[in-house]
Amino acid sequence: MSHATTLAAPARRRAGDGGDRLFAGLCLGAGILVLLLLGAIILTLFLGGLPAFRAFGAEFLWSTAWSPVEGREKYGALVPIFGTVVSAVLAILVAVPLAFGVAFFLTELAPPWLRRPVGTAIELLAAIPSIIYGMWGLFVLVPLVQQYIQLTLGDALGAIPLVGFLFASNSFAGTSLFSAALVLAIMILPFIAATMRDVFGQVPAVYKESAYGLGCTRWEVMRGVVLPYTRVSVVGGIMLGLGRALGETMAVTFVIGNANRLPTSLFDPSTTIASIVAMEFPESLMGSLKQSSLLALGFLLFVISFIVLAISRLLLRSRLKG
């Protein structure tokens, strides 16, 4: 064997060149494949949705109609878009402070013996399939929201002028925008918390110790040293969570109440793009206006996700420059 190797040494060099080229080519191919796939998906969704865009024009974007009745079909995307964005934003509002607390606790406050179990528990939360969250939400969370949160909040806050309508609802089934946002918040919490914990842990100890040496409190160190140092990754983690919340399907379907009406209250039922596509797709005939409208909704979800991504990039860039 060794004899053969020595003999083949010059040849091996050439073979190595070929291997390098092959490897580079494969990597290039993989990169291009992703681009092609993305392009193909966008194109498929757009072409599939084209008949709906043609039939309804720009009105598709702000129409609240969703009536598949034969002969007077009419579809609009406003309710699902509204539900998608509002439930995701609400989920972020609930999840980010919680995730920050978890990460702060795990990196700064928790005794070492507690860090591992709590950290593992957070990671396990991320491993639970979304259908389980949906079932748990429907059977456990929704009755709690219905009996305790909705009535309490409705009584206490419903009379406040200007914002009271947000809490007063005529729908008492418990499946609502609020329940959906709550389930989503729990689902995205582990992603955001895990990202934050990891990046908080990467802040060089020297920086923190210097700040402590100057007499800073823990909170001042967090605000003045850790957060500025990790801002990019923290925003990245939040965007990851937002992206997941926008596209989540099964869990939301179970608890949002699936009503194609514009909600006026947090406790009104609503629907999301992913949810309406999952609910209506099996009963849509190939080539029908309904299927085309569902594909158009998929395209719009793509656009929304893209806008979210673009905004996060923009935020990061302007902050980094400043």
Partner 1 sequence: MQRRNLLIATGIAATAPLLGRPALAEQTPITGAGASFPRPVYERWGQAAREAIGVQLNYQSIGSGGGINQITNRTVDFGASDAPLAAAQLAERHLLQFPTVMGSVVLIVNLPGVADNALRLTPELVADLFLGKLTRWNDPRIAEQNKELKLPNLPVAPVYRADASGTTFVFTSYLARVSEAWKSGPGAATSVQWPGGQGARGNEGVANTVRQTPGGIGYTENAYATVNRLVTTQLRNKAGQFVKPEMPNFLAAAKAANWNAPNFAADLIDLDGPETWPIVSPTFILLPVNPTPDRLAGSLATMKFFDWAYKNGAEAARRLEYIPLPDAVHAAIRSAWAAVKSPDGKAIWTA
Are 78 and 63 within 8 A, CB to CB? yes
Q: Does residue 143 touch partner 1 according to CB under 8 A?
A: yes
Q: Identify the three-state secondary structure at position 256.
A: coil
Q: Identify the three-state secondary structure at position 260.
A: coil
CA distance 69 to 290: 10
Q: Does residue 129 touch partner 1 according to CB under 8 A?
A: no
CA distance 91 to 107: 24
CA distance 261 to 238: 29
State the CB neighbour count (10 A cutoff) for residue 109: 11
* Residues numbered 241-260 forming contacts with partner 1, rule: CB under 8 A: 253-254, 257-260
State how far Cα 187 lies from the chain centre.
9
For partner 1, the closer CB: 172 or 306: 172
Residue recorded with tokens 């009503």: 259
Residues that bind partner 1 (rule: CB under 8 A) add up to a total of: 34
Q: Does residue 62 touch partner 1 according to CB under 8 A?
A: no
The one among 24, 38, 67, 214 contacting partner 1 by CB under 8 A: 67
Question: Could you tell me the smallest distance in angstroms from the CB atom of residue 260 to partner 1?
Answer: 6
Question: Could you tell me the smallest distance in angstroms from the CB atom of residue 322 to partner 1?
Answer: 46
Question: Could you tell me the smallest distance in angstroms from the CB atom of residue 102 to partner 1?
Answer: 31
CA dihedral 218, 222, 226, 232 (to 10 degrees): 170
State the greatest distance between any 2 C-alpha atoms of the chain, in Å, as a whole number. 91
The one among 66, 178, 191, 267 contacting partner 1 by CB under 8 A: 66
Residue recorded with tokens 């219905």: 146
Q: Which stretch binds partner 1 (CB under 8 A): 35-43, 91-99, 139-147, 183-191?
A: 139-147
For partner 1, the closer CB: 75 or 191: 75
Q: Does residue 146 touch partner 1 according to CB under 8 A?
A: yes
Give me 251's structure tokens: 């869990």
Q: Does residue 59 touch partner 1 according to CB under 8 A?
A: no
State how far Cα 98 lies from the chain centre.
16
For partner 1, the closer CB: 175 or 195: 175
For partner 1, the closer CB: 54 or 261: 261
Question: Could you tell me the smallest distance in angstroms from the CB atom of residue 186 to partner 1?
Answer: 20
Q: Does residue 163 touch partner 1 according to CB under 8 A?
A: no
Q: Does residue 312 touch partner 1 according to CB under 8 A?
A: no
Q: What are phi and psi of 247, to 5 degrees?
A: -100, -5
Are 201 and 298 within 8 A, CB to CB? no
Interface map 165-204 toward partner 1 (x if CB under 8 A): -----xxxxxx-----------------------------
Q: Does residue 63 touch partner 1 according to CB under 8 A?
A: no
* Residues numbered 259-288 forming contacts with partner 1, rule: CB under 8 A: 259-261, 269, 271, 279-280, 282-286
Which of 247, 225, 236 is closest to 87 using CA atoms?
Answer: 247
Helix (DSSP H) and strand (DSSP E) numbers for the chain: 15, 2
Q: Which residues bind partner 1 (CB under 8 A)?
A: 65-70, 72, 138-139, 142-143, 146, 170-175, 253-254, 257-261, 269, 271, 279-280, 282-286
